[in-house]
Structure 1
């Protein structure tokens, strides 16, 4: 299953467009880098959908409630057991596609981790890692982050990105642009805070 760019915003740090995301069940298939190149090119520019698959998450609410109850009772650590099947689990970028691949059981655990992120928020931000048990890690690890002020961050990063080429002599390469955009974000935020509020006439 691929989540294409129609559903993916620019990131909240430097407004770079996010990659399509491929969710790959490891027990059924894999996504070679050469194969990932084709959907990456096809999805480079958002277009009309040829079809859609509705992703149902039957049982997710029940699983989240169960984990929350166990954590509240202090029994989670005693009942939890590490996943047996973390073979071929990986989170990596393949030719412009972010591949999230794991066994169905591990994907279910990751879904619960992501669903519970709102339970532990620090200064408006929460995150969770996508990996296997610490003693049997995935080949590559990923992370999901959320921000309470996500839309504001994206807006600031977009303004910073538009302003950098006009004020800096850059080649436009991402590795060169990113630090300039990051440093400009603070200036944009400061200007927004100092902007006087308009009053109705």
Structure 2
């Protein structure tokens, strides 16, 4: 049917980031050749931003986005036939979480078997967003990634990539991530999938490409990615609404950054104003010495859950655990992935000396 973009995800699959996740496939003519373009399915609960800072192209997201991107890069390493590329385009793109600058589509290219020059980038950019119905659905296989994630990181082995020569560049409005070898694709994918912004600084990152006084690319994730995007949008709108708003981006961005910081330091950082948390739970957190989202993140959802369980006059269940995780990550409680729920229950079982059980629906 003309104009269709394909069937949307079922709600239960929208946040899947595991082996065999479903992606859409389309045949597209690029630079005179028929290529296979793989993309996310409508309804997939993931968002990315892009920007350039200090000479490095960044792909920005939250922890879930990094896991999805890691799966895509790892699966890319198994591509042996030329002509396959992966595309992240609207509606999976959002403005940057710093100043709400518009994002660029992201293209993943297996550099060892698929040439992707300026003419191919031009042809693809002209066709985006891909609105026609897909030609089919593929199961994106990532054999070995889960085992690699269970291993302790070997930073000397995984991070020093001088022998690799993958490229990260912007061409015709596309951010192109092109690992040079299957090994490099797996390194990039593993680095992305390991990112965890739940620590003290609320941020984590991994470099892409060969070091030459700087790196060409970086994947960066933020604990408050979605909230920061919202604040950046609000800050940009408020600055642009001023009659004296500068037209030059170099003058505009610092004003947005300052307004963004002022918004972030305000009431939006208090647990009492966090949408997923109910009033009683927020008041109990404040009474337990957890008044802000930063302090909640420092404690972690499991410790906060135990604090509330010890203080609550009512019975608390695992739904509260998902709510606390959502408050930390900026997601909705229903969007906490099954794998993450299992991790939380396992940590809770360790803390309480009880055997872990499967998460409820």
Please report how far the alpha carbon of residue 156 of structure 1 lies from its aligned counterpart in structure 2 after TM superposition: 0.3
Instruction: Provide the residue aligned with 1:18 in structure 2.
Output: 103
Q: 1:139 to 1:99 in 2, by over 3 A?
A: farther
Q: Secondary structure at the match of 1:129?
A: strand
| Matched ranges for 1:88-127 at <5 A | 89-102=166-179, 103-118=181-196, 121-127=199-205
Q: 1:15 to 1:56 in 2, by over 3 A?
A: farther
Q: Secondary structure at the match of 2:91?
A: helix
Instruction: Provide the residue aligned with 1:64 in structure 2.
Output: 149
Given the alignment, which residue of 153, 170, 175 partners 2:246?
170
User: Is residue 154 from structure 1 mapped to residue 229 from structure 2 by the alignment?
Assistant: yes
How many pairs are equivalent? 185
Cα distance in structure 2, aligned partners of 1:153 and 1:31:
33
Q: Is the 8 A contact 2:197 2:222 kept in 1?
A: no
Q: Is the 8 A contact 1:5 1:18 kept in 2?
A: no
User: Is residue 189 from structure 1 mapped to residue 264 from structure 2 by the alignment?
Assistant: yes
Q: Secondary structure at the match of 2:258?
A: helix
Cα distance in structure 1, aligned partners of 2:266 and 2:96:
21
Instruction: Provide the residue aligned with 1:48 in structure 2.
Output: 131
Given the alignment, which residue of 254, 261, 264 partners 1:179?
254
- Superposed CA deviations along residues 43-77 of structure 1, whole A, max 9, x for unmatched, are 2xx563532555332221112223x2xx4xxxx46
Q: Is the 8 A contact 1:127 1:145 kept in 2?
A: yes
Q: 1:80 to 1:22 in 2, by over 3 A?
A: closer
Greater mean deviation of Cα atoms: 137-146 or 32-41: 137-146
Please report how far the alpha carbon of residue 138 of structure 1 lies from its aligned counterpart in structure 2 after TM superposition: 11
Cα distance in structure 2, aligned partners of 1:162 and 1:53:
40
Cα distance in structure 2, aligned partners of 1:9 and 1:150:
10
Greater mean deviation of Cα atoms: 11-20 or 150-159: 11-20
Please report how far the alpha carbon of residue 39 of structure 1 lies from its aligned counterpart in structure 2 after TM superposition: 2.4
Q: Scaled by the length of structure 2, what TM-score is found?
A: 0.44
Larger radius of gyration: 2
Please report how far the alpha carbon of residue 131 of structure 1 lies from its aligned counterpart in structure 2 after TM superposition: 2.2
Q: 1:123 to 1:194 in 2, by over 3 A?
A: closer
Q: 1:25 to 1:126 in 2, by over 3 A?
A: same
Cα distance in structure 1, aligned partners of 2:106 and 2:155:
32
Q: Is the 8 A contact 1:60 1:112 kept in 2?
A: yes
RMSD value over aligned CA atoms?
A: 3.3
